[in-house]
Structure formats: structure tokens, C-alpha cells
Amino acid sequence: MSQIELIVACLVVGVLLRLSGRLPETAPKVLGGWVINVALPATALRTVHDLAVDPSWWLAVAAPWVAALLAIAVLVPLGLGLGWSRQRTGALLLVAGWGNTSFIGLPMIAAYAGPEWLGLGILIDLFGSYLALSILGIAIATVSSSGRFDAVAVARRIATFPPFLAILVAFATNHLDRPDWVVAVVGRLADTLTPIALAAVGLTLRLDGFAGRIGALAVGLGWRLVAAPAAILIFSLALGAVEDPAARIAILEAAMPPSLGASIIALEHDLEPQLVALMMGIGVPLAILTSALWWRLLPVL
């Protein structure tokens, strides 16, 4: 669980940096720019290389897409009914719609299901979370920040989104051997994702940020940690696949806390940063408990 300890430590570092006043107010966006343009693409390049795909895992890989689409179907009408701003609705769609299927999800898979299932976790993260975030997530962020749907602008943002381009490049070159120095450089850049992204979130986290946000926070965490995995469980039951180990991995991954990448995209588009930071700051430690409960529940179904 050393990765989880790193996550908590990086959040605390971000908070301490904010309290120290050593960084300018623009620091979260600068750090977010590094994550979007460097760390996330490097992670995609590293993850895809020599990745083996099992066709029987399609249901598990589809789970993040299902969860994100259900979040839109539920949270958009709810936001309209509660009078939320488009920024708040967009923030919740991103941070509640996508789970952290890599930096928390992969250690959780290794701890609960065993390291032999990490390959499936990587596929869920890449084809599910990353790809859906690169397409659907960017469309949500663009519309939520601008207040209008411009198909050309959205398509342009998706087509030029660095992690999406990295996925395309990775698959196009996956059959090629990579020099050792390329592997080393890509790996080092990918390793910066967790500390920098979480420090950026920690920089925006304030205890006074609860005012006026408790209801939205409860809805977002309720969806991310309870409703999303329950939806994937129902989906698996409907297909008669709940006893499949791959389906159980998909349910565990659906119970993960908010995605770092989705949070940074929300911050980059100025979608209620305080709410995003609260979702991350509370969601990460809370998910460690709730995901354990989900895993204990699955064998008795």
C-alpha cells in the first residue's frame, strides 16, 4: 500500500505549500499544465508498450465508459433540479464520473485480487478510463467551461488533447522496440504524475471550502464510491457475469476515488476548484475504506 501513502503525503505537501505562501496563486494551473501535457502522455506511452489483451475482458474494460455515461444521465438532471451552475455540474461529472483506476486502483487490485490481475487493471485504466476521459471528459469540460456546445471546438480539443495523442502514438508504435534511454525517460516523466497532480489538488484544498458545497460533495462522493460500483455490479448481474473474476475487478475499480486526470482537467477549466479539491482530499482516504467493503461484499453475491 506504499502508493496510497504516497498519495496522502503528496496531498499534504500541496496543502503545506499553500499555507507557506511560497508558491504563486497560479501554481495549481501550472502544475496541472505539466500533468496534462507531459505526465499523462508519458503514462499512456509507458502503459501501452507490450500490453497483452484478452478479448474476454471487454466487459471490465467497458465499465468506466458505462459509469461515466450513467453519471451524465443522473447528475445533469439532478444539477438542473438543484439549480447548480454549469461549472459545478461539470466538476462533478468529471471527478465523480471517473475513478482513479491506476495509481490507487492498481495497488488495490494487487492487494485484494493478486498481482496476476494487474494486466486487466491496466486495460481498464487505458481503454476505459484514459480513453473515455480523453474523449468524453474533454467534451464535458469544454462545454461546462464555455457554456455552449461547439462541435468543431470540442472535436479540436479532443484531437489535440495530449494524452489522447499519446495513446494513438503508443498503439502505432507498439510493435517497435524502444531504446533503453526512451524507456527510461518516458518512465521518469510518467512517475511525476502522482506527486505533481496531487500537490496541485492540495494547493487548492481549504477547510473553509465546505461552505455551500456539502450537498454537492455528498452527491459526488456518493456517486463515486457507492452508486458507480453498484451500477457496474447491476450491469454484471444483468449479463450473468458477476461470478467472473474480471467482472469483480471491474466493480472494485469502479469503487475507486476521483481520478487525478479528471481532477486536473476540471481545475484547468476552472470548474469549481474548491469542490474538486474537497472531492479528492476526502475521497481518497474514504475510498480506501469503502473499496475494502465492496471487495468483502462481492464473494457473498
Question: Is 206's pLDDT higher than 80?
Answer: no
pLDDT (0 to 100) of residue 153: 74
Residue 102 is classified by DSSP as T
Question: Is 124's pLDDT higher than 60?
Answer: yes
Listed in sequence order, the DSSP H helices in the chain are 2-20, 27-34, 40-48, 58-82, 86-97, 105-112, 118-123, 131-132, 138-146, 151-159, 162-172, 180-190, 193-204, 214-222, 228-238, 245-254, 260-268, 273-297
pLDDT (0 to 100) of residue 52: 65
Residue pLDDT, tens place only, 219-273 = 999 999 999 999 999 988 888 777 788 889 999 999 998 988 898 889 888 899 9
pLDDT (0 to 100) of residue 3: 65
* C-alpha cell belonging to residue 275: 469542490
Give CA separation, 44 vs 130, 137, 213, in Å: 8, 16, 33
Question: Is 7's pLDDT higher than 80?
Answer: no
CATH of domain 2-300: 1.20.1530.20
Assign 72 a pLDDT band (cuts: 50, 70, 90): very high
User: Chain-wide mean pLDDT for the chain?
Assistant: 85
Assign 58 a pLDDT band (cuts: 50, 70, 90): confident
* Selected residue with higher pLDDT from 83 and 158: 83
d(CA 50, CA 36): 23
pLDDT (0 to 100) of residue 57: 79
Which range among 42-56, 202-216, 265-279 shows the weakest confidence by mean pLDDT? 42-56
Give CA separation, 186 vs 42, 120, 162, 179, in Å: 5, 22, 14, 11
